[in-house]
């Protein structure tokens, strides 16, 4: 498989390490980042890799799939140009799909072009069961996320919350998935994955805990099949506390499965 990667941050670093350790069998990687120094550096870490200076240059290359791990704001351009150039697409910044118009636009474009858009399961568990359950009636979908203070510093400051005053577990948000992703665009992508998988807007509660080291995601789904409850506690990425290590590993596993003859789960 030949990969194009857009965004050379923490997720990209995990992919490179997976290739170097032989956990991923990738023939070639081409990197692109608006910061050319980052993409240049990544290209030096792998054999049979290169970097490009523009997204237009990347989508015209001989590659099988493009991995977006840049930002919510990059998804529309990356998605549109990838699909129009007959490339499959993996979207990590799935929070962009809280915008229904964008989701439907890229869905239609992929269908017209005969291409695929893949969304990794991210930092939550049970997506296979959740997708199956969504074939029946779904009555309730909720996500409670508890994160260390360091993971939420930037959005909390943007909301005018003085983080110095947070000494114990504090609920900083309760609302729907659409409002959650607006206020926490880099921290609550899991809520959008859950909403897409269930075809139901999730209710979201976000708690910040200054004494916590691990992220915690509690999912509750009630519907025709019964109830599904899952709990995951995972480490934030060492390179970027806004990103979960598990989210990166779910991407690596997805890429791995795309090139393997046997697939487990839905």
The set of catalytic residues is 217
DSSP notation for 181-247:
HHH-TTT-HHHHHHHHHHTSPPEEEEEEETT--SEEEEEEEEETTEEEEEEEEEPBPSS-TTSBHHH
Nearest to 224 by CA among 195, 203, 200: 200
Q: What is the DSSP letter of 16?
A: H
- CA distances in angstroms from 4 to 49, 56, 95, 147, listed in the order given: 10, 12, 21, 31
Give start and end residues of each alpha helix (H) in the chain.
10-20, 36-43, 55-59, 75-84, 100-113, 127-133, 149-158, 177-183, 189-198, 245-258
Q: How many CB atoms lie within 10 A of CB 266?
A: 10
In sequence order, what are the beta bridge partners of 171? Answer: 207
Q: How many CB atoms lie within 10 A of CB 39?
A: 24
Q: Which two tokens stand for residue 236?
A: 């934030």
Q: How many CB atoms lie within 10 A of CB 14?
A: 20
Classify 5 as helix, strand or coil: strand
């Amino acid at each position: 498989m030949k990969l194009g990667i857009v965004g050379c941050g923490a997720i990209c670093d995990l992919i490179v390490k997976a290739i170097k350790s032989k956990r991923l069998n990738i023939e070639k990687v081409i990197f692109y980042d608006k910061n050319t120094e980052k993409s240049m550096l990544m290209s030096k870490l792998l054999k049979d890799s290169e970097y490009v200076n523009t997204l237009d240059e990347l989508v015209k290359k001989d590659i099988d799939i493009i991995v977006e791990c840049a930002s919510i704001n990059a998804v529309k351009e990356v998605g549109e140009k990838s699909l129009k150039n007959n490339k499959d697409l993996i979207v990590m910044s799935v929070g962009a799909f809280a915008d229904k118009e964008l989701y439907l636009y890229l869905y239609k474009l992929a269908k017209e072009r005969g291409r695929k858009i893949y969304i990794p399961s991210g930092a939550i568990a049970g997506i296979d069961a959740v997708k199956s359950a969504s074939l029946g009636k779904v009555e309730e979908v909720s996500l409670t996320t508890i994160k260390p203070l360091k993971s939420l510093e930037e959005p909390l400051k943007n909301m005018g919350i003085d983080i110095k005053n947070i000494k114990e577990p504090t609920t900083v948000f309760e609302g729907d998935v659409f409002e959650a992703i607006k206020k926490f665009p880099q921290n609550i992508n899991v809520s959008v994955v859950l909403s897409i998988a269930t075809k139901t807007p999730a209710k979201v509660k976000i708690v910040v805990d200054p004494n916590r080291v691990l992220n915690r995601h509690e999912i509750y789904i009630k519907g025709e099949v019964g109830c599904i409850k899952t709990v995951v506690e995972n480490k934030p990425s060492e390179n970027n506390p806004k990103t979960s290590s598990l989210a990166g590993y779910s991407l690596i596993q997805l890429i791995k499965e795309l090139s393997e003859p046997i697939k487990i789960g839905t």
